[in-house]
Amino acid sequence: MTAFAVDGRFSARQGETRHHANFSWRHVADRDEILITTPLGQGVAELVRDAGGARLVTADRQTVAAEDWESLSARIFGFPLPLSGLPRWLPGDVPARSLDGRGRPESAVAEGWTIRYLDYESEAPDALPVLVEFQREDMELRLKVDTWQLD
């Protein structure tokens, strides 16, 4: 899958530190744009990845830049999130460790992250995941997808 748009919610946790927000993500091969909003819809930040690196622009127009997604998330949250792998991992494009009864990924391991596919948009064998959990050491990222749009 080379291009998609996803809207949903996420929670990120490391130890006792937790973050919860909504997201709207537009992905193409050479660019990502992620808008982070509060549960009430107020814009908090925009993350962009392109040939120039990765940057976050806050609601008050402050910018944090880094060479890649993981370095940027480590600066923002205090721990690196698996953002570079997400365009493949979220839709289930990863060698599965186990499959569900319809042949879809149920769990996988990629780059040290354990990935669990907890729910799909329908019962169809080609349905896309809508609830995915990523864990590594004491870090956890959980994504709940409300809508998928494939380009």
pTM for the model stands at 0.89
Mean pLDDT of 117-126: 97
What is the model's pLDDT at position 14?
84
> To 5 degrees, how large is the angle CA 78–CA 79–CA 85?
140
Distance CA 122, CA 129 (A): 9
* pLDDT score at 116: 98
Residue range 1-22, pLDDT digits in tens: 789 999 999 998 888 888 899 9
- What pLDDT, in 10s, does the model give residues 60-91? 999 999 999 889 988 887 777 778 889 999 99
| Cβ neighbours of residue 63 closer than 8 Å, sequence gap 6 or more | 55, 56, 57
Confidence band, pLDDT 50/70/90 cuts, at residue 96: very high
Q: What percent of the chain has pLDDT over 90?
A: 72
Q: How far apart are CA 1 and CA 39, in angstroms?
A: 28
For 20-67, what is each residue's pLDDT tens digit? 999 999 999 899 999 999 988 888 999 999 999 999 999 899 999 999
CA distance 12 to 98: 24
**All domains in the chain, ordered by first residue:** 4-150 (2.50.20.10)
